[in-house]
Amino acid sequence: MKRIVLSLLLGTALPALADRLPLPADTPASYPAECGSCHLAYPPALLAGGDWQRIMAGLDDHFATDTAVDTQKRQEITAFLERHAGNAGKLGNAGDPPRISTTARFVRKHREVPAKLWHDPRVKSAANCEACHRGATEGRYSEHDIAIPELKR
Amino acid sequence: MRVLPALCLLLVGTACHAEAPQQIIQTYAADAAARQPGFTPSAKRGETLFRQHFAHNDKMPACTSCHTDSPLNAGQHAVTGKAIRPLAVAVNGERFADPAKVEKWFGRNCKEVVGRACTPGEKADFVAYMSAVR
């Protein structure tokens, strides 16, 4: 009986856990300060370590913008991202340059989003997590808390 | 009596906060005056710079591309779509409060939008406009 209750509990808890991606407790202040102004300070688990390394090595041309930071901050942020990076096998290839939105995990999770909504003025780009995921800043990505009415479920 | 030092600290703290944009303007203005004797910051020139279109970046040709036509409004990043809090000190007291942060964003945004570094005079004018606009 205990085992059934436990598996039931796990069954309801696990999907909820997958929607929770808060920034880790050891996030350096430089991460949101340097990487969270133009876009959300993305959860490090959404890219593999090697991809974060490539991103951090190319900040002087980061999606056509010079976002270079000083050496100390770059090392601190890179170490943090690698420490909490996701599993490359589970995420899938992020492309070149690496993009979270290219990974198979991201594509699978967003397969119900109609193509035209990505370019909707309310959304603008796949980089804009908060446009739909109201709680993204706090790491909440539940599909039951979506700001776009057409996507409500 | 113990209240007095605390009160002083509080007052100094408040004064510092309100004066930060003015101090930032003064620092840039002094720098500008060293190159161009008689320079005084102008909010009007700052507004012109804010609205000017540059032929450098077609996704964001002007400050207004992300910050909208009014610094009193919240903006939106032209590429990523992220919300941007207003630039005007009148509606966002955190703006132009930290000289290092101000210099960092002039560095990034002038390079990206104007296509070159902004001069100390342009920075003084810009902050003057953002402090004055109501």
pLDDT digits (tens, 9 = 90+) for A94-146: 999 999 999 999 999 999 999 999 989 889 999 999 999 999 999 999 998 89
Q: Output the average pLDDT for chain A.
A: 90
**Cβ-contact B109, B61 below 8 angstroms:** no
A126 to chain B: nearest residue by CA? B80
Q: Quick check: A127 and B111 CB within 8 A?
A: no
CA distance A92 to chain B (A): 23
**Cβ-contact B96, B24 below 8 angstroms:** yes
- pLDDT at position A6 is 55
Q: Which of B80, B111, B112 shows the shortest C-beta gap to A39?
A: B80
Tens of pLDDT along B29-83?
999 999 999 999 999 999 999 999 999 999 999 999 999 999 999 999 999 999 9
* Cα angle A59, A61, A67; round to 5: 45
Residue B12 has pLDDT above 80, yes or no: no
Q: Name every chain A residue with its beta carbon within 8 A of the beta carbon of B79.
A: 38, 63, 65, 124-125, 127
Helix (H, G, I), strand (E, B) or coil at B1: coil
Residue A16 has pLDDT above 90, yes or no: no
Residue B2 has pLDDT above 80, yes or no: no
CA–CA dist A42, A127 (Å, integer): 9
Q: Name every chain B residue with its beta carbon within 8 A of the beta carbon of A32.
A: none
Q: Which residues are CB-contacts of A113 (< 8 A; sequence separation ≥ 6)?
A: A151
Indicate the domain borders of chain B. 3-132
CA–CA dist B123, B118 (Å, integer): 7
- pLDDT at position A152 is 72
pLDDT (average), residues A68-87: 97
**Cβ-contact A124, B76 below 8 angstroms:** yes
Q: Name every chain B residue with its beta carbon within 8 A of the beta carbon of A63.
A: 79
Q: Quick check: A66 and B82 CB within 8 A?
A: no
**Cβ-contact A94, A47 below 8 angstroms:** yes
Residue B130 has pLDDT above 50, yes or no: yes
- Number of other residues whose CB lies within 10 A of the CB of residue B118: 19
On whether the B3-132 domain is CATH 1.10.760.10, my answer is yes
Q: Quick check: A66 and B108 CB within 8 A?
A: yes
* Cα angle A46, A52, A55; round to 5: 120
- pLDDT at position A132 is 95
Place of tokens 């009148």: B90
Residue B92 has pLDDT above 70, yes or no: yes
Query: DSSP for A12-48?
Result: HHHHHHHTB-PPPTT--THHHHHHSSSS----GGGSB
Structure tokens at B125: 């004018």
Task: Note whether ipTM > 0.85 here.
Answer: no
Q: Name every chain B residue with its beta carbon within 8 A of the beta carbon of A148.
A: none
Tens of pLDDT along A61-76?
999 999 999 999 999 9
